[in-house]
Structures are given as C-alpha cells and as structure tokens.
A = this chain, B = another copy of it.
C-alpha cells in the first residue's frame, strides 16, 4: 500500500513545480527533492522527465473522456446532454486547475511521439463534442451560420482560459462558474432567427 507512493509523490510535486515555474525551469533534482525521493527512485517509475509530463496529462485526459462518454451514454435531449457535458468539463478542469495550467503551457515541450498521443486523445474528445453540436444544429437548436469550428472553439477556449483568471481561493463557486460559462456559451450559439 506504499509501493506506488513514489510515483504519486513525484507526480504531485511535479504538477506543483511545473505550474509554479514552468516545465523547462524545473529540474528533475527539484522534483525529487520536493517529493522526498531520490533520482534513482524516480527513474525507476518514470522513463524520463518527458514521461512525467505526459503522465500528468494522461490522468486528466482519461478522466474527462470517460466522463463525456458516460454523459452521452446516459442519453436524453441534446441540449441537456450538451449542457451536462459542458458543466462537467468546466468543473473537472477547475478541480485539475494546476494540471491544466501545465497542460496548456507545456504541451509543446513533449517529445514528438507523446505529443502525437496527446493530440490524438484530445481530438477524440473534440470530435465527440463536435457531434453533439452537430446534432443540435440538425435539430435546428444551434446557429449554422457560423462554422462549427468557431462554435466549438468558443467553448474550449473557456476551458483553456480558466487557469488565467479563476482563483480557487476566491469567492466564485466552481459549479456556479461552470453553469455561468455554459450558459454564456449556449446562449451565444442558440439559433435566434426564425
């Protein structure tokens, strides 16, 4: 029950340090010191510094994707499904705010193979999300006079931007904020002509 503590401790220390100082400005030495382990131990669990960064993404990506799958699986009116999906991804992004900070800043620091893997995983999420929008457009709920890429970007941008303004220590409740952001998005894309 303590076997994988090393991996966890290292991961947590890495997230914190990467978020505070950036990936490139954080040395492996700093990470293992903060985690209270030695370099050798760390390299026993992670192939490289790069691998550590990937592990951070992996955890968040898996979680959000499984949530989305589940929400869609539950079925229901597309508007409800979309709203639930949006609120969920904002909420989990707030829960993983440090991971998101690292993610959006340092994705490009990954080596090529892992970079590709991240892109692939994110595209899966993106495409599944896009199909919801598409269904809504087909039902005449959402604007079709704007490229779907713009509509989607309009929402995903908010996820990215959270770490630039949201303060977990501040007054705003994460669920409320998630609903507000979702509301602004859904209002913006609603079809109003007719």
Seen from chain A, the residues whose Cβ lies within 8 Å of a Cβ on chain B are 21-25, 104-106, 108-109, 146-147, 149-151, 153-154, 156-158, 160-162, 164-166, 172, 177, 180-181, 183-185, 187-190, 192
Q: Which of A104, A153, A162, A177 has its CB near the most chain B CB atoms (within 10 A)?
A: A153
Q: In the assembled complex, which residues on chain B have CB atoms less than 8 Å from the CB atom of A23? A: 24
A171 CB, nearest partner CB in chain B, Å: 9
- Which B residue sits closest to A22, measured CB to CB? B108
Q: In the assembled complex, which residues on chain B have CB atoms less than 8 Å from the CB atom of A162? A: 153
Choose from B108, B147, B151, B160 the contact partner of A157 (Cβ within 8 Å): B160
With A25-B109, A184-B189, A187-B192 known, 11 other A-B pairs at CB within 8 A are A23-B24, A104-B104, A146-B180, A146-B183, A147-B180, A149-B165, A153-B165, A154-B185, A157-B157, A157-B161, A184-B188
Choose from B108, B151, B183 the contact partner of A184 (Cβ within 8 Å): B151
The CA-CA distance from A158 to B150 in the complex, in Å, is 10
The CA-CA distance from A106 to B160 in the complex, in Å, is 15
Asked whether A180 lies within 8 Å of B105 as measured between CB atoms, the reply is: no
Q: In the assembled complex, which residues on chain B have CB atoms less than 8 Å from the CB atom of A22? A: 24, 108-109
A41 CB, nearest partner CB in chain B, Å: 16
The CA-CA distance from A177 to B190 in the complex, in Å, is 18
Asked whether A154 lies within 8 Å of B146 as measured between CB atoms, the reply is: no
Asked whether B109 lies within 8 Å of A154 as measured between CB atoms, the reply is: no
- Which B residue sits closest to A158, measured CB to CB? B157
The CA-CA distance from A88 to B148 in the complex, in Å, is 22
Q: In the assembled complex, which residues on chain B have CB atoms less than 8 Å from the CB atom of A154? A: 158, 181, 184-185
